[in-house]
Amino acid sequence: MQACYRIHVKLINHKWAFPFMQPVDPVALNIPDYFSIIKQPMDLGTIKTKLINGEITTEEEYISLVRLVFDNAILYNKQQDDVAVMANSLSAFFER
């Protein structure tokens, strides 16, 4: 799991990670349909906490959660939206 944590530090320090660092707040963002579209919300900050607390026990689980962050962003946002572009870029960075 140390490798996952090291990868996660690189990911959260990426210049485009900031929109994905905390849970989406549909009220603050005025997106009331968010939870009707996104059934499994996830963010990089929650993943970091889960790593630190030992709640993620396998590399596969870690990979799945990180992919969920980006999949959610791409699903909810239009392809040309900044958040979707950032999600695609960070996803490619992560997969490398």
The model scores a pTM over 0.85? yes
Would you state the pLDDT for residue 27?
96
CA distance 22 to 43: 6
Q: Are 94 and 70 in contact (CB under 8 A)?
A: yes
Mean pLDDT in residue range 69-94: 96
And the tokens for 37?
Answer: 């579209």
Percent of the chain residues topping a pLDDT of 90 = 99
Query: In the predicted model, what is the mean pLDDT of the chain?
Result: 96
Q: Categorize the per-residue pLDDT at 8 as very low, low, confident or very high, splitting at 50, 70 and 90.
A: very high
Mean pLDDT in residue range 79-87: 96
Q: Give me the torsion for CA of 51, 53, 54, 59, rounded to 10°.
A: -10
Mean pLDDT in residue range 28-44: 97
